[in-house]
Amino acid sequence: MSSPKVKLIEEDGCQMRVVHLERVEQARQESISVHELERLSLTFRVLGDPNRLKIVMALRNVEMCVCDLAAFTGLSESAVSHQLRRLKDLALVKKRRAGQIIYYSLDDEHVTALLKVGLEHIRE
């Protein structure tokens, strides 16, 4: 009797070692630069933090100031400011000054689309 781990390898593994050169070449041609790969990885890593993701999700349809976001998330204003700085550095959020208040919103429709696709995926 084989263990589940061995069974998984048998079901998903290759029965014969063959390298499909045309597929490897296609993957190479469609690959992105190391810089883009690192930036995309960093974007997903930043969004992988529950507090930052909660902030970004709150900003989907409304702009909010640090005080609003602190009240919503239960984090201190200092912690929210720190998280917003990280999100702003990656162009995920932008700010707008109105007098003495700075309002934050999602940077553009790409961020909204990224969140929408992620939600659709987990809700399938």
DSSP string, 70-122: HHHH---HHHHHHHHHHHHHTTSEEEEEETTEEEEEESSHHHHHHHHHHHHHH
- Could you please state the CATH topology (level 3) that the domain comprising 4-123 is classified under: Arc Repressor Mutant, subunit A (1.10.10)
Torsion of CA 34, 40, 46, 47, to 10 degrees: -160
Note the pLDDT tens digit of each residue in 29-50.
999 999 999 999 999 999 999 9
What would the mean pLDDT of 69-87 be, rounded to a whole number?
A: 98
Q: Is 43 helix (H, G, I), strand (E, B) or coil?
A: helix
pLDDT tier at 14 (50, 70, 90 boundaries)? Answer: low
Cut 0.85: pTM above it: no
pLDDT of 61 above 80: yes
Domain parsing of the chain, residue ranges: 4-123
Percent of the residues in the chain that have a pLDDT greater than 90, as a whole number: 85
Q: Is 64 helix (H, G, I), strand (E, B) or coil?
A: strand
